Amino acid sequence: MAIVKNLRAIFAEVPTGYVEPGKHVTIDESQTIDPDKVQLDGGFLVKTLVLSIDPYMRGKMRDPSQKSYSPPFERGEPLYGYGIAVVLRSENSAIQTGDHLYCRTLRYEEYSVYKDASAFRALQNVGVPWTLYVGVLGMPGQTAYYGWKEYSAAQKGETVFVSTAGGAVGSLVVQLAKRDGLKVIASAGSDEKVAFARECGADVSFNYKVEDTNDILAREGGIDIYFDNVGGKQLESALEHAHDRARFIECGMASIYNNPEAYTPKNLMRIVQSELRVFGLLVFRLADKYQDEFFQVMPRLVKDGQIKFKEEIVYGLDKVGQAILDVGTGANSGKVVVIVSEE
Amino acid sequence: MAIVKNLRAIFAEVPTGYVEPGKHVTIDESQTIDPDKVQLDGGFLVKTLVLSIDPYMRGKMRDPSQKSYSPPFERGEPLYGYGIAVVLRSENSAIQTGDHLYCRTLRYEEYSVYKDASAFRALQNVGVPWTLYVGVLGMPGQTAYYGWKEYSAAQKGETVFVSTAGGAVGSLVVQLAKRDGLKVIASAGSDEKVAFARECGADVSFNYKVEDTNDILAREGGIDIYFDNVGGKQLESALEHAHDRARFIECGMASIYNNPEAYTPKNLMRIVQSELRVFGLLVFRLADKYQDEFFQVMPRLVKDGQIKFKEEIVYGLDKVGQAILDVGTGANSGKVVVIVSEE
């Protein structure tokens, strides 16, 4: 192999609203690499295969003065996040050439040399596409699974409301809830996603942009659990129609990520009135408790076709900016993954 | 005894803001009663001794179309709530003449005949004023005790923030937290209440109308527990400065009871970011679990002078409307009780 370009997706500028590809995220083509000869200094060289595009990334594209659970991206440097890479060369005894590595802080560039192997895990593929390991078997699937197990206190016959139910996290929550014998009310922002949530087993599935969430939840007799990915108006509706001692699993608030002036619920007093329990969910904090169980249970179910999922695959590292925008606006129609290289 | 007047405090009109005595709550003097001769029909006649005035009552002075955990007062009928009454006559074998009864739905009138004894409990006084049984030993004390035991998950060395810390509930939370070895940050709305919270053991006590809650919580290094009686801006500050996995005990939101346009927190995303746990607290739902323990522990501590409390006693049933207003504005300087009769 000779010297090749090494494309990198750079965090160039802090957006105030939606991400503009080419402005807030740029593609740098200036770097080159010689995969055969690049110095490893005891580290290892990987080629990026798959990059995950997730809503939380928008939260890291912020000014460093704003604190949050996860550090901000560094301006002028590549984005990083969940991804799969294959090892081309290694001077680290724990990492073998040909290994497929899973990483939550993979740099969004075509080739990388790393020294520290602690953020990487070699994957044993049960015979499904690698892309699933950043989707239904990756962080989004784990988020749904851990959150549901830890906080739902689900009882057969109860009713759960799931927002972004056509998405990577929500669609698995729908299926986990149905497997536990619950009634599922699902909301999504496009007819396609509404249809997918119904395919996943939702008893009621509606487009929150067309139908009124309050009307639906009132008609269906209220809820015992809300799995929240959006915050804002739908959270307000869920609070309004929560039964006594209902559980709220707060996974994300997509309605505010791109809108600093977003609507905030006015009826927090419902927490007192109905003795609600509201739990913030961070997937990586629950990994020690549930990850082994997850990898015992879920890859098999996926391989056996017992779990539905939807991927939207785009090709080429240069599509990262557009993909982040699509996830922000909801224009995507499945878990978005970027295939950087086919190996 | 001859025929006497039977004053009644009537819910006359639904307020939109603060209660106006004489308009929203009126005193009806039109009824009379002959305590010696009134027909009991198998029931019992009581004379009201003590009535409790509590912030939650404002929530019941609403239009019946608004649902809540507790039914609205009925317009044209007497208010009702926590109180102590003495039995003058009884045809019910479970109720003895001379018994002092505790009731959470006592009608706010001087004399009453009841048929159903199930809402009443005969009190065994350990030797403290009866008024305490609607205060530090009544619903407010039980609210603090049950909420702290059930939801705080308090660990020695942690920091708790308590709002309305000079009030009937908050001042006991301060003391329970200190007994458990926590650092206590207390807020209140008057210098007198700030001083009382400090007397109760608060390490930091401040007037939230004068000092900025955000500044105080930042300076003190954040919080592990928030015992919330107010909602609004202070809740927003508590969210902002909550440590990972902090617990929020949502007992009330006094900032909104008299103000439908009240401020609502803009930073609910903090629940996700710091994996917060938020619990709605309704005291009567926890009584089965904690009431026996409470009555074993607390009356003795109070009698032995180990618990501080503050009462504001007013005399005469005609003061009920003004007392409700004072509790709403925070003009009171202790747990407000109305002594209707000295026996």
Domain ranges of chain A: 4-135+310-339, 139-284
Residue A83: strand, helix, or coil: strand
In DSSP terms, which residues pair with A280 in a beta bridge? A250
Q: Which of A251, A271, A277 sits opposite B272 (nearest CB)?
A: A251
**DSSP label at residue B119:** T
Residue B233: strand, helix, or coil: helix
Cα–Cα distance measured from residue A242 to residue A188, given in angstroms and rounded to the nearest whole number: 19
Contact residues for A210 (Cβ-Cβ < 8 A; gap 6+): none
**Beta carbons of B69 and A272 less than 8 Å apart:** yes
Each residue's pLDDT expressed in tens, for chain B with a length of 343 residues: 689 999 999 999 999 999 999 999 999 999 999 999 999 999 999 999 999 999 889 989 999 998 777 899 999 999 999 999 999 999 999 999 999 999 999 999 999 999 999 989 898 888 899 999 999 999 999 999 999 999 999 999 999 999 999 999 999 999 999 999 999 999 999 999 999 999 999 999 999 999 999 999 999 999 999 999 999 999 999 999 999 999 999 999 888 877 767 899 999 999 999 999 999 999 999 999 999 899 999 999 999 999 999 999 999 999 999 999 999 888 888 899 999 998 7
Q: Which CATH class is domain B139-284?
A: alpha beta
Q: Nearest-CA neighbor of A233 among A190, A191, A199, A267?
A: A267
| A-chain residue closest to B277, CA distance | A279
Q: Nearest-CA neighbor of A330 among A308, A309, A318, A312?
A: A312
Contact residues for A60 (Cβ-Cβ < 8 A; gap 6+): A68, A70, A71, A72, A73
| A-chain residue closest to B245, CA distance | A280
A71 CB neighbours in chain B (<8 A) are none
**Beta carbons of B264 and A266 less than 8 Å apart:** yes
Closest CA of chain B from A255, distance in Å: 10
**Beta carbons of B272 and A266 less than 8 Å apart:** no
- Sort strands B8-11 and B204-207 into parallel, antiparallel or unpaired: unpaired
Structure tokens at A230: 């959006």
Interface residues of chain A, partner chain B, Cβ below 8 Å: 68-69, 231, 235, 244, 250-253, 256, 264-266, 268-282, 285
Ranges in chain A, pLDDT < 70 = 1, 260
Cα–Cα distance measured from residue A334 to residue A340, given in angstroms and rounded to the nearest whole number: 18
Cα–Cα distance measured from residue B256 to residue B259, given in angstroms and rounded to the nearest whole number: 5
Q: Nearest-CA neighbor of B301 among B198, B172, B185?
A: B172
Closest CA of chain A from B258, distance in Å: 13
Residue A63: strand, helix, or coil: coil
Q: Cite the beta strand spans of B123-210 per DSSP E.
A: 159-162, 183-188, 204-207
A271 CB neighbours in chain B (<8 A) are 250, 278-280
Structure tokens at A121: 């895990």
Closest CA of chain A from B34, distance in Å: 40
**Beta carbons of B277 and A281 less than 8 Å apart:** no
The architecture in CATH of the region A4-135+310-339 reads: Alpha-Beta Complex (3.90)
**Beta carbons of A281 and B268 less than 8 Å apart:** no
Contact between residue B11 and residue B321 where contact means Cβ atoms under 8 Å apart: no
Contact between residue B224 and residue B199 where contact means Cβ atoms under 8 Å apart: no
In DSSP terms, which residues pair with A44 in a beta bridge? A90, A114
Structure tokens at A225: 């659990």
**Beta carbons of B279 and A274 less than 8 Å apart:** no
